[in-house]
Amino acid sequence: MSLHVSKNFMITPISKLVKAVAITSFLFAVPASAYANENVRAAGMDKETMMKMQKIMKSDMALMKPDLQKQVKGLSKETKMALMNILSTHSRRSKQLTLRQVMHEVLSDYQSITTGLVTDNNEQAADAARRLANHRLPLGGLIPYMAKDDVNDDRLASLVGFNDLVEGNALRLAAAADKGNTGEATMYLGKIAEGCVACHQVFRGQPGVSNRLR
């Protein structure tokens, strides 16, 4: 994959999702029972999960300052569905951690995967990969840690692709490691790293830049 990531990077997975999710009413205001079962299934969530995700999104929204709340409310149905889909794959949520702290955990898990693979310890690799895929979500979810200009449909469309690159391949790596296929598992390390790098190129940039330099 090219390291030059455009705004439209990895747009395909989300556009597929968008087509699949022909939802006519929207999540915060509408009870899950209002969604046709078919649509809910198409989004990869059953009714119960959908209701749970709506609740979580609502409580995340309650933590946001009014200007961010307004931005999130203005996102398209498709973006909100995509965010809920991502939410639904994470069972661990923190009441105080920031995204940066979560990222440090993610990096540690990535390193632990590598340690497992290079020391013939597929069990360590598989466990760390599953932990990485189900990394904690920070207080308020991901959005509050994004730059203001990144909280729009266009920018957030790339999230689904990055998520699959990192978490999808972490799960594939775990499955290969479970089977003792260390070689195959090791191939996924590069793909995961591509996901880290690509997401950072869009949503992050160089850390710790000083504003005291000319």
Give the binding site for ligand HEC (CB under 6 A). Answer: 99-100, 103-104, 106-107, 110, 145, 159, 162, 166, 192, 195-196, 199-200, 203-204, 207
> Considering beta carbons, is residue 32 or 185 the nearer one to ligand HEC?
185
Distances in Å between the Cα of 127 and the Cα atoms of 39, 142, 155, 166, 171 are 33, 24, 32, 15, 10
For residues 168 and 195, which CB has a smaller minimum distance to ligand HEC in the complex?
195
State the CB neighbour count (10 A cutoff) for residue 112.
18
- At closest approach, how far in Å is the CB of 68 from ligand HEC? 14
Query: Minimum distance from CB of 162 to ligand HEC (Å)?
Result: 4
CB of 87 to ligand HEC, least distance (A): 13
Shortest spacing between CB 192 and ligand HEC, in angstroms: 5
- What does the buried/exposed string (b/e) look like for 117-154 if buried means 16 or more CB atoms within 10 Å of the residue's CB? beeebbebbbbbbbbbbbbbbbbbbbbbbbeeebbeee
Q: In the complex with ligand HEC, which residue's Cβ is closer, 43 or 165?
A: 165
Angle at 29 between CA 92 and CA 67, to 5 degrees: 75
Q: How far is the CB of 151 from ligand HEC (least distance, A)?
A: 12
Indicate the residue among 23 and 133 with the shorter CB distance to ligand HEC. 133
Q: Are 93 and 166 in contact (CB under 8 A)?
A: no
Rounded to a whole number of angstroms, the minimum distance from the CB of residue 31 to ligand HEC is 29
Which CB atom, from 26 or from 145, has the smaller least distance to ligand HEC? 145
Residues 6+ apart with CB under 8 A from 84: 27, 43, 45, 50, 53, 54, 57
Nearer to ligand HEC, 183 or 207 (CB): 207
CA distances from 71 to 108, 133, 147 (A): 32, 28, 12
